[in-house]
Amino acid sequence: MKTKHDQSGATLVVAMIMLVVLTLLVVSGIRSSTTNLRITGNMQIQGEATAAAQQAIEQVLDTDYTNNPVAETITVPMGAVDYNVAVSQPVCANTAPVSTDELSANDPKDLACFGSADPTSVTQVSGGTEKQVLEASLCNKQLWEIQADVSDSNSGAKTTLVQGVAVRAGRMSGC
């Protein structure tokens, strides 16, 4: 029969090692979930900033930016956070006249482009073939680029969104 003095305490040592290993696993799990939570939060903030930039561009598109292109800062509320979006001055990247054969008499937007344009045919020679075209209308096809920058000082999120938009505008518009 063994007495108390013959026990070496191996069970206590094994139990302590298992407790330390279990504690390390719990700490690792908590750290991993905290990291995943941060990643998810950052993705949400980035998505909100992109949506705020898109909303600011849509607000600019609702203005008369072709005749008065100006840079501006637009505050966009997104839930509990307001994002300040710096919209650069819209830039006209390209312009080309619209010929009257591209217009539709059934489209109310095209009626102003007909104006007093003379719809007489003009012969255009291209590559040895003749083509009847109508002369230019009172409108231009324009390609505008609008850039919106969002920088949130609270989260550090930054995003830039550039959108191109094709518009039909009068010949005297600022392009």
Domain map (residue ranges) of the chain: 5-170
pLDDT cut 70: percent of the chain above it: 83
Q: State which residues of the chain have pLDDT below 70.
A: 1-7, 115-135, 173-174
d(CA 38, CA 80): 18
Indicate yes or no: pTM above 0.85.
no
What is the pLDDT at residue 167?
87
Residue 112's pLDDT is: 78
- What is the predicted pLDDT for the residue at 163? 94
Q: What is the pLDDT of residue 56?
A: 95
- The residue among 92, 82, 80, 15 whose CA lies nearest residue 52 is 82
Residue with tokens 């009257």: 100
Give pLDDT, residue 118. 46
With DSSP H G I counted as helix, E B as strand and the rest as coil, what are the percentages for the chain, rounded to 5? 35, 35, 25
List pLDDT tens digits, range 124-174: 444 555 444 456 778 888 899 999 999 988 888 899 999 999 888 777 766
Q: How far apart are CA 127 and CA 122, in angstroms?
A: 16
